A and B are shown apart, each in its own frame.
Chain A
Amino acid sequence: MGTFGSLILLASGLVSATFALVVAGSTLKLFRVVRRDYLLGLPIGFSFLALGYLSSSASYALPALTDPLTWLALLCQSYGFAFVAVTYLLKKSSRWGSAAEWLVSIMLILAVIAATVIVVQIERIPSYQAFDEALSITNIFLLAYILIDLYPRVGADRHGIGTAILASYAVLAVSQYSYLLWRLDGGFWSFSMAHLLEFIGLAVLAVNLVQGLQRRR
């Protein structure tokens, strides 16, 4: 990849990381006001995502550290989506997500990730690419869970779930799908779309949060 291409990818990663950090900061504010335990998953999840995008971005700038940084990006992104999905899972709990429920949910997610990795690797030699594909599939499932949870409640009342929020999670899921396609076919457009959709999805979430928290009455 040329220097210009690397610069674009570096910038794209930094923009995504910035949006993810804005979302993490805003969701931390949500938690601090209402103090519901299950909401902790959002700032933790989006911080993991930000770290993942930063690592991914840095891997283009620091060729000597490409391997560890791409592994870090891979794991952080999956952990990020897992924490966000668990937040939606625990929201349904009558006790609003105790520490034990958090632990059980994280263990379940780790089990799902491990199972996906094993299933993908049955026909392959273990490699970074196999993990990458498995975790992209896992991310799509995690985002699909959020969409399935949100979709029936869209427009249920005047202050119901925003279609923009639903759309942003959908865009993030399509971004992961596009990234998976790129891992399989190595095409330019799938890779570009993955990055573009990634920061569109995060930008919509960030703008909605910041606007919502600034609005007067």
Chain B
Amino acid sequence: MEEGKKVRGRDRERIFYDILCAILIQESNGIARITRVQNAVNLPWDRFRNHLETMAELGLVKRSDSLKSTAKGREFVSEYKKVIRVLKRFGLD
């Protein structure tokens, strides 16, 4: 990171996207375990848990012993990728 450059915090939607990507990667190898996803997205437990609750309420993930992505969650990841690509083209990401 460049010295003196401000570090911009991730917004909520970016965190949802990161969590879902981590879940999808781990699902492709079997089960998405909660602690592994938490490590992958680099969030403290309390914030991670709050985000998971919100995501479950929004229908983006299913939570039990492990985490599962939903169709809505996968659709969100796909839309988010497209939007970020467009924003980059417009110099707004």
Contact = CB atoms under 8 A, between A and B. Distances in A.
Is chain B found bound to chain A in the same assembly?
yes
Interface in B58-88: 76, 78-88
Given A94-B8, A96-B8, A159-B85, A34 B90 contact: no
Contact of B11 (A30, A34, A153, A213): A34
Interface residues of A, number: 28
- Max chain B CB contacts within 10 Å: which of A33, A39, A162? A33
Interface residues of B, number: 22
Given A96-B8, A209-B86, A149 B91 contact: yes
Contact of B91 (A29, A35, A36, A161): A161
Contacts of B1: none
Contacts of A215: 82, 85
Contacts of A88: 91-92
Contacts of B80: 33-34
Contacts of B79: 33
B6 interface: yes
A30 B88 contact: no
A212 B92 contact: no
B47 interface: no
A5 interface: no
Contacts of B91: 88, 91, 149-150, 153, 161, 165
B13 interface: yes
Contacts of A33: 13, 76, 79-80, 83
A212 B82 contact: yes
Contacts of A153: 91
Interface string A80-93: 00000001100100
B88 A213 contact: no
B92 A87 contact: yes
A19 B11 CA distance: 30
B58 to A, nearest CB: 12
B88 A160 contact: yes
A118 to B, nearest CB: 32
30 contacts: A30-B83, A30-B86, A33-B13, A33-B76, A33-B79, A33-B80, A33-B83, A34-B11, A34-B14, A35-B11, A35-B12, A35-B13, A39-B87, A87-B92, A91-B92, A94-B6, A96-B8, A96-B11, A150-B91, A159-B88, A161-B88, A161-B89, A161-B90, A161-B91, A208-B86, A212-B85, A212-B86, A213-B82, A213-B86, A217-B81
Interface of B: 6, 8, 11-14, 76, 78-92
